[in-house]
Each structure stands twice: as C-alpha cells, then as structure tokens.
Amino acid sequence: MHKVISFALIVGCLAVAGGAVATGFPDRPLQLVIPFPPGGLTDVQARPIAPAFEKLLRQPVVIENRGGAAGAIGTQYVAHAKPDGYTMLFTSPAVVILPEVDKVFGRKPGFTLDDFIPIGRISADAPVMVVPSGSSWKSVADVVAAARQSPGTIPYGSAGVFGPTHLPMELFAHAADIKLRHVGYQGGGPAMTALLGGHVQLLAAGVNVAQPHIKNGGIRPLAVWSAKRHPALPNVPTLTELGYRAEIYLWVGMFAPKATPPDVVDVWRTATRKAISDTAFKEAMGNLGTPIDYLDRDEFARFLAADQEQTASIVRLIGRVK
C-alpha cells in the first residue's frame, strides 16, 4: 500500500515539475483568437461555437478579434503565446498562405504552419463570386467581357492582400486571362461592406458571409469556386462547369501553439469534436448555409499538408502582387 502511494506521489511531482499534465485544465477563462475583424468567414463560425465550448469546458470562452495584415497579426500573436491551452487560434487558410507569401517576397516568415498544432477542421467551403444587386453583370461572362474591355480597372475587394479571399479572385483572373484591380480591406466583413456600398464591384466571399445578403437581395451570386454546385446555392454555376480551372476552398479550423501539452491538446480535440454536434451550433451553421465538414487532428494535418502544397503553387503563380 505504501509503495503505491509513494509511486503516485512521485508521478504527481514529476508531472507538476514538467508541466506535462493539465491537472484541472481549464480553470480560468479561455481566449479564442480570430485574426480578422468581426463579420468575416471565421468570425461568423466562432460566435456560435464559443457557447458550445463554454458548456463543455465549463469556463468562459472570450473571442478576441486581432485583425490586420491579412491575418498575420493575430496569427503571429497566437504563435508566440504561452503554449498552455488558454490562447487558441480559430482561423482560415491564412495560416497556410502567409508563410508562402513571405517566401515569394524573400522575407523571413513571422510564423509557419509548424508553429501550431492542428486541433480540428470545422468546415471547408468554396467561396462564391458576388456583385451588388444593382450591377449590370448577370453572369461571369459579363464580368470577363467588361474586364477585357477595360483591363485592370474593375475593382474587387478582399479580406486583405494574399488573404483567403484574395487568392480565389486572382486564380480566376489567371484562368480567364483577364486583369482586375485588387482593393484589400482588413477582413471579410469590411470587404462585404465595401461591396454593398459600391466601393468595389466584385468579391469572393464565404457562402456563410454572403448568404444573408443574397437572401435579402443586397448582392447577386455569379459562380462558386468548387468542383460541384454548392448545396445552399444550387442554381449558381461553378467556375469549373463554366470552363475555368479555378477550384479553391475556404476552410476554418482550430489550432494550438506549438509545445502545448498533449493532454491539453486532447482536451481541446474532445471539446471540438463534441462542439460541432451541439444543436445550437449546427442550427447556426445551417442558417449560414455552411455545411460542417469536420476533420480530427490527424486527418486535418494531412489535409493541411496537401493544402499547403496547392497554396504554394498558387502563390508562386501569382507572384509579387502589390
């Protein structure tokens, strides 16, 4: 009996000394960092999943929007945060895109994918090309014709230079052999506001961000970047079926800083896996028109490796876009 107690005490002491065991985790509020302003692709999914996390982890989950530099500021903040599980990243493909952009410009990346531990993918959805409802463009063919008539003058918005809504438009422009004029904003929300206000004429938006404005008649969808038609927009053609080789997806996922203890990672993995089944979260995602497409850590890691390879090729194809 005494030997068992002594062994338990030794293990406990070693665990505390090494910081390897998350005894009582979490025991204080948690921070979910979104590296974009409110209203964009990641933000509208983080809002309904945070209450699900709170129920599962029994602690407040505070959403902090740290926008700027197409997601680089908030992402780098989490990369350098204390790896204790209390500061997590809820993000889009920016975490993969931005290091590749730094390579193209010969800069040392402020972070890389290796600075994070993938927790789980929440969704993966193709963006939709939208125009203001008052636009004379009724199809992608109209956009292409206008762009060829006035090369480099048609302004389109994005969530920031080389951000996850910038790459789709440049990929489309390359496939269509046209020139457009990029106008970057500090997130998907501000970019949508610019489109609604007539400051830009085109936008590649997440379906969940665009859907409310499509429903109320504020914007018109022209095409989606997926291989198959989007279930929420069955009457909207894909760029693939229109003859353009431009397929790309916007995904949202959870990450922990590198060196976060394995047991803390497992707590978040379990919470994320359960949170996507939360009734309120599922209803919210349904209202957004975004299907949940969950991948657990290992599958998500394999997906990220393939996505990183594709992203690198697209970024190199685009080159040093200002």
Cβ neighbours for 143, distance < 8 A, ≥ 6 positions apart: 129, 131, 137, 154, 202, 222
- Specify if 75 maps to a domain: yes
Cβ neighbours for 207, distance < 8 A, ≥ 6 positions apart: 125, 126, 127, 128, 224, 230, 232, 233, 288, 289, 290
- For 62, the domain range is 25-124+250-318
User: Do 108 and 31 sit in the same domain of this protein?
Assistant: yes
Number of domains in the chain: 2
Q: What is the pLDDT of residue 231?
A: 87
Q: CA separation (Å) from 55 to 40, 52, 254?
A: 24, 5, 18
User: Do 141 and 207 sit in the same domain of this protein?
Assistant: yes
User: Do 181 and 141 sit in the same domain of this protein?
Assistant: yes
Among 164, 189, 224, the domain boundary falls at 224
- Specify if 84 maps to a domain: yes
- What burial letters (b/e) apply to 30-52, b meaning 16+ CB within 10 Å? bebbbbbbbbbbbbbbbbbbbeb
Helix 279-288 / helix 43-57 crossing angle, nearest 10 deg: 180
Tracing tokens 């993938």 back to the chain, one arrives at 118
User: Do 98 and 138 sit in the same domain of this protein?
Assistant: no
Q: What is the pLDDT of residue 321?
A: 64
- Specify if 238 maps to a domain: no
User: Do 116 and 264 sit in the same domain of this protein?
Assistant: yes
- Nearest CA among 260, 280, 288, 205 for reference residue 54: 280
Q: Which two tokens stand for residue 312?
A: 């690198």
Give the separation between CA 26 and CA 69, rounded to whole angstroms: 31
Contact 76, 110 (CB under 8 A): yes
Give the separation between CA 72 and CA 110, rounded to whole angstroms: 8
173: amino acid identity, one letter: A
pLDDT along the chain (322 residues), means of 10: 42 39 83 92 93 98 91 95 98 92 91 97 94 97 98 93 85 94 87 95 90 94 94 94 92 97 98 97 89 95 91 82 61
User: Do 67 and 106 sit in the same domain of this protein?
Assistant: yes
**Residue 266: CATH number of its domain:** 3.40.190.150
User: Do 112 and 134 sit in the same domain of this protein?
Assistant: no
- Specify if 240 maps to a domain: no
**Residue 191: CATH number of its domain:** 3.40.190.10
Q: CA separation (Å) from 260 to 21, 24, 60, 265?
A: 11, 15, 20, 7
Neighbours of 136 (CB within 10 A): 7
User: Do 196 and 265 sit in the same domain of this protein?
Assistant: no
DSSP code of residue 109 = P
User: Do 97 and 113 sit in the same domain of this protein?
Assistant: yes
- Specify if 171 maps to a domain: yes
- Specify if 9 maps to a domain: no
Q: What is the pLDDT of residue 57?
A: 98
Backbone angles phi, psi at 157, to 5 degrees: -95, 165
Give the separation between CA 42 and CA 252, rounded to whole angstroms: 6
- Specify if 11 maps to a domain: no
User: Do 84 and 148 sit in the same domain of this protein?
Assistant: no
Among 207, 224, 241, the domain boundary falls at 224
Among 224, 259, 294, the domain boundary falls at 224
Give the separation between CA 179 and CA 229, rounded to whole angstroms: 26
User: Do 180 and 108 sit in the same domain of this protein?
Assistant: no
- Specify if 212 maps to a domain: yes
Q: Which two tokens stand for residue 4?
A: 């068992």
User: Do 120 and 254 sit in the same domain of this protein?
Assistant: yes
pTM score of the predicted model: 0.75
